Structures are given as structure tokens and as C-alpha cells.
Chains A and B, each alone.
Chain A
Amino acid sequence: MIRLPYYPGCAVQTTARNYSISGVAIAEKLGIELVELPKWNCCGVFPFLANDDIMRHLAPIRNLIHVQEMNEKGIVQNENRVVTFCSMCYHTLKEANLFLKDPEKKEKTDIFFEREKEFVGGVKEGYKGGVEALDFLEVLKDIVGYDKIAEEVKKPLKGLKVAPYYGCLVLRPREIGIDDPENPTILENILEALGAEVIDNPNRIQCCGSYHTVDRRDIVAELTYDNLIYPVRSGAEVIVTCCPLCTFNLDFRQKDAGKLHRDLQEIPVMYYTQLMAIALGLDKQFYGVDLGLHYVDPKPLLEAKNLY
């Protein structure tokens, strides 16, 4: 068992619990124990673009400090990697390190944490640097390996037509991307290892509309249509995602998209970890399909394919 610090983030603890329930379980199945940070806060949600306002860059740095503390407390040994499922969390943790590459920013944040110690018992040390965020997809690719995944498959996803969708946050900017930002293959490779039939999705690296989903649903509905219509026409039966926000937009905004475009038929959206839980033969509770978190229920499809 490899023990890795694990930063859940808020989304996978609430609206995307189907992601973490399936993810943590398959990790264990594949020999990775995800050890939750004893203390953590919101990742900051999005790297703040005004980069002279240090206060708005603190959230992800605090989480990196908590990884540091896990080592100091001996919860993990010499382990500077931290795993996330959520693309947004991955993105902000990575961006935090980029932000601190600027010596001036680093010095300012150091001073902030140094001063904080005078008033708060919580944070003991500033960030020493060197904590590396890993998206769980990278864990699968580099630590577990596709061959090992294929070996562990108990229930191949034979005949299941899946279209992967990456979104932006794990791919761009290039410096922090987990794969080729123009032509990523991690999801495809995993899905093939599971025995699924991968359907090409030319829009798989497009933006999902992100937080416009709150106040500009119309924009997001259009994007959802664009992002779904090609794979649907190509015969995809399920869309596979790796980001809670993309998933929300692709799944829940289908309602609005369907009203704008009558030709869009509903298609279930699932996290790759959910399909892995099925293929690796885990208990049904780890599929995460019974938690009321899907807009388009994937169960009828899974039942039709003898996967549920």
C-alpha cells in the first residue's frame, strides 16, 4: 500500500460525493491509501487573477502547508505529493506553486504567515515549498499504470460506448497540465484498460461554461449542447468526466440545453472513477449512482449493459 496525502475539497464532499466515494475505493483496490489531510480549507476555487492581493492567494497555500504538517507529525513519511480528484482543486494547488515562484510573492506570503503566528495557534510554519499536487488521473497513469488497471478488471465494460470529456482545468495552462493540452489521452487509456469502447469527442477539451452556470445559464446551456451533441451523434452512451463543475454543467444543464435544441437526447454523465468501481468489481455502494446526485440517471444504461 502506498500512503498518499489526500485533499478532498468541498465539492467531492457534497455535490460530487459520487466522485470521492468511488475514487477512494478504487484507489484502495489498486494499492493506494488516500490519507485525508487532518485539516484543510477550501482550495480557493479559482486562482485569483489580480496577483498583488496576497490575501486571495492564501487558501491553496494553507492546504500545501497542511501537507507539510502531515510530514512533521509523522502521519506520512517524506511524502510531498498530495492527491485531488477535483480539477478545480488540482488547478488552484498547482497555481499556488506557480504564484510562489516569484520571490517577491513568496516573501510577502512568508511574512504574512510569520505575523499570523503571533495571533493564531493554528499554523505553525510558513510554506517551505515543494509540495506537489497530483490529480488522481496522474496517480493512475504514473503510479498505478494502465496495465495494472487492466489486470484488475473483473467486469469489463464490453460494448459500453463512452466519450471522455476533460474540460480545461487539468490541461491548461500548459505548465500545470497533466497531459498534452491539445490532445490528452489519459481518460481514453484508462477507459480502454477497462474494456470500454471509446468514442471520439472533438469537444473534450472545451470549456464547460464554468461558473457562468450560476448567473448565465443560457451561455452554459449552449456550451453543454455543443459539448454533448458530437459524441451523442457518434453513438456515445455515456459521457465520462473528471471535474465536478464540468459534470454539473454537462449533466444538470442538459435540461436547459434540451429546451434550446430539440435534437439533443439525454445522456448520462459519470465520473471515470464510477466506471472504474464497476469494472474493478467493487461493491455497488461504491458506484455512487444511488446518491441522488445525477440529473440523468445512469442506472437504466448500466442495467441494460448488465453492469448494475
Chain B
Amino acid sequence: MSQEKKEETKKVQIYIMGREYQVPAGLTIMKAMEYAGYRFVRSCGCRGGFCGACATVYRVKGDYKLRMALACQETVEDGMYISQIPFTPAEKPIYDLEKLGPSANVFLQYYPEIAKCVSCNTCTKACPQDLEVMDYVQAALRGDFEEVASLSFDCISCGLCAVRCPTELVPYNIALLARRLYGKYVMPKAKHVEERIKEIESGKFNEELQKLMEASVDDLKEVYETREIEPE
């Protein structure tokens, strides 16, 4: 890299868990941490904003506000203090979906603490997916699991809502229960999936599958490269 080129890349100063680093502007938090020498064994999954593994909290110098982000999505800013939340300790009761039934009291039964919600909306502010978290918690409180399912559809369970809630709720697990109930009891069954499952069970694809399993790595690559991709 020539001297000139080096000067072109603007650097920003960030603090990863308190330690100062100069990193190129425009990187995501995740890439900036890797640039700084971190190797992720946790807090990183899809790198595409879908898996929710990379929950991150940060503050920017001079601003009181504690901000939440997905490390793989958020770009670094000058003066960021960054820390990751690799795991959210959360209550996850065991239930049997077959036995639950779509009753209005199911949320209060498994997550009685939802009655503590004071509608402060801190969870909504924390959500990197911009979901209306408080509104779905409230819908759960009154047993409206269809509303919970639809409002929480894009939840990736990063856990930041649960970390921030002043009344110690675990919104994303509540939402998961709602979507499960919705999928089981309300959503119309997808006909084509049922048919395909029957086809699989009847062994229709066994031969093809066997062929793939016996194929050489090169052949597999070839198949992968020439595969049919569904139009966007």
C-alpha cells in the first residue's frame, strides 16, 4: 500500500472494553474489533443481521445515552465505547405446545412477571430491529398472541430488550411463545409443505440424496455452483 493511499483511509478512535484503538472509518463494529485483533469465538454468527448473536452496547463520548446495536450492522463512530453482550441470562420455562392451547392466560401462567411492565418503552428503544417491543409485551399481557406474533415477527432474539428492561422481563422469549402458539393454532397449514413431507417420508428423494452423499468434493462443488436459485 502506498503512503498516499494510507492517508486516505480516515481513522476513528474507538474503545473496546475500555482500550483505545484506531480503526478505519466505515467498518462495522464487528469488523473494527477484528481489525483491532479480536478473534470471535462468541458474539458472532451470521454476520448479516439475522442471527442475533452479536448484541452490543455502546456509548459515544459526550452523550449520556446508552445505545444498543448489532455489531455486524452498526458502523463505528469516533469516540465509541464498545462492549458486547455474549449471552443474556434469561428465564425460559418449559412448556408443551401440544398441551398449552391458545388460551389468553398462557403468558401470565408462564411469564407472570409481564404484569410488572410499566410501559416505559425502554425495550423498544433498545431493539436493534426497531420492533415495538413494549406493544407486544402489552398484547401478551392481555393474551392477544396473534398481535404479539405479528409485532415480533422480525425478532432475532439478541436479548437486548431483556438486558434493558427495568422490570426484568424477557420480552423475546415471551414473543417466541406467542409465535409458536400462532404457528400451531392460528396460521393456516401450508399445503405444499405437508405434501413435500409426505414425499420425503415415502422415500422419493432417497436415491438423489444417496448420490449426493457419495459424490466427490469436486462434483459437489460443481452441483453447488450450477444449482437453481429461486428468483428474488
Which residues of A line the B interface, CB within 8 A?
A: 8, 10, 13-15, 39-42, 44-45, 55-56, 58-59, 62, 116, 119-123
Contacts of A55 in B (CB 8 A): 118, 120, 166
Cα separation A116 to B120 with both chains bound (whole Å):
10
* Shortest beta-carbon distance from B130 to chain A in Å: 7
Q: Is the CB of B138 within 8 A of A41?
A: yes
Q: In the complex, what's the smallest C-beta–C-beta distance from B64 to chain A, in angstroms?
A: 11
Whether A122 contacts B132 in the complex (CB less than 8 A), given A42-B119, A55-B118, comes out as yes
* Nearest CB in chain A: distance from B102 CB, A: 13
Residues from chain A with Cβ under 8 Å of B124 in the complex:
119-120, 122
Of chain B, the residue at the smallest CB distance from A45 is B115
Tell me the chain B residues, 106-122 only, with Cβ under 8 Å from chain A. 115, 117-121
Chain B residues positioned under 8 Å from A119 (CB to CB) = 124-125
A168 to B115, CA, bound (A): 22
Contact of A44 among B105, B119, B142, B166 (CB under 8 A): B119
Chain B hits for A10, CB < 8 A: 141-142
**Interface size grouping (class) on chain B:** 20 to 34
| Beta-carbon contact of A56 and B118 below 8 Å | yes
Assess whether B144 is in contact with A41, with CB atoms less than 8 Å apart.
Answer: no
A62→B125 contact, CB < 8 A = no
Asked if B134 lies at the interface with its beta carbon under 8 angstroms from chain A, I say: yes
Q: How far is the CB of B217 from chain A (nearest CB, A)?
A: 49
Residue in B closest to A113 when the chains form the complex, CB atoms: B121
**Contact between chains at B118 and A44 (CB < 8 Å):** yes
Chain A residues whose C-beta falls within 8 Å of the C-beta of B138 in the assembled complex: 40-42
Q: Report the tally of A-B residue pairs with Cβ distances under 8 A.
A: 54
- Given A13-B104, A120-B125, A122-B135, also A62-B119 (CB < 8 A): yes
For the complex formed, measure the closest distance between the CB of B129 and the CB atoms of chain A, giving whole angstroms: 12
Closest Cβ neighbor of B134 among chain A residues: A41
User: Which chain A residues border B26 with CB–CB below 8 Å?
Assistant: none
Residue from B120, B135, B144, B166 within 8 A of A13 (CB atoms)? B144
Q: Which of A44, A58, A119 has the most chain B CB atoms inside 10 A of its CB? A: A119
B residues in contact with A41, CB < 8 Å: 117, 119, 134-135, 138
- Min CB distance B123 to A, Å, is 10
Q: Does B143 contact A (CB under 8 A)?
A: yes
Most buried by A among B117, B120, B132, B144: B120
Would you list the 8 A-B pairs with minimal beta carbon distance, nearest first? A59-B119, A41-B138, A119-B125, A10-B142, A13-B142, A41-B119, A14-B104, A55-B120
A45 to B120 Cα, complex, angstroms: 14
Instruction: Across the interface, name the chain B residue whose C-beta is closest to A15.
Output: B105
Select from chain A the residue with minimum beta-carbon distance to B126.
A119
| Mask of B180-200 contacts with A, CB within 8 angstroms, 1/0 | 000000000000000000000
Instruction: Give the A-binding residues of B (Cβ under 8 A).
Output: 104-105, 115, 117-121, 124-125, 130, 132, 134-135, 138, 141-144, 166
Chain A residue at smallest Cβ distance from B130:
A121
Quote the shortest CB–CB distance from A86 to chain B (angstroms).
Answer: 12
Residue of B nearest to A122 (CB): B132
- Give Cα distance in the complex from A45 to B142, angstroms: 13
Question: What 19 new A-B contacts, CB under 8 Å, besides A13-B142, A55-B166, A120-B132?
Answer: A8-B142, A10-B142, A41-B117, A42-B115, A42-B117, A42-B119, A42-B138, A44-B118, A44-B119, A45-B115, A58-B118, A58-B121, A116-B121, A116-B125, A120-B121, A122-B121, A122-B124, A122-B132, A122-B135
Chain B nearest CB from A127 CB (Å) reads 13
Q: Which A residue's beta carbon lies closest to that of B103?
A: A14
> Inside 8 A of A59's CB, which chain B residues have their CB?
118-119
Across-interface contacts of A62 in B (CB, < 8 A): 119
The listed residue with most A CB atoms (<10 A of its CB), out of B105, B121, B125, B143, is: B121
- In Å, the complex CA distance between A56 and B117 comes to 9
Task: List the A side residues contacting B105 at CB < 8 Å.
Answer: 14-15
Q: Which residue of B is nearest A40, CB measured?
A: B138
Cα distance A8–B142 in the bound complex, in angstroms: 10
In the assembled complex, the Cα of A123 lies from the Cα of B135 at a distance in Å of: 11
Q: Is the CB of B125 within 8 A of A14?
A: no
CB contacts (< 8 Å) of A40 on chain B: these are 138
In the complex formed, the residue of A with least CB distance to B122 is A55
Measured CA separation A14–B142 after assembly (Å): 6
CB contacts (< 8 Å) of B104 on chain A: these are: 13-14
Complex Cα gap A120–B142 (Å): 23
The complex places the Cα of A45 from the Cα of B167 at a distance, in Å, of 15
Whether the Cβ atoms of A58 and B130 lie closer than 8 Å is no
What would be 24 A-B contacts, judged by CB atoms less than 8 Å apart? Answer: A13-B143, A13-B144, A14-B104, A14-B105, A14-B142, A40-B138, A41-B117, A41-B119, A41-B135, A42-B119, A42-B142, A45-B115, A55-B120, A58-B119, A58-B121, A59-B119, A62-B119, A119-B124, A120-B121, A120-B124, A120-B132, A122-B124, A122-B132, A123-B121
Contact B121 A39 (CB under 8 A): no
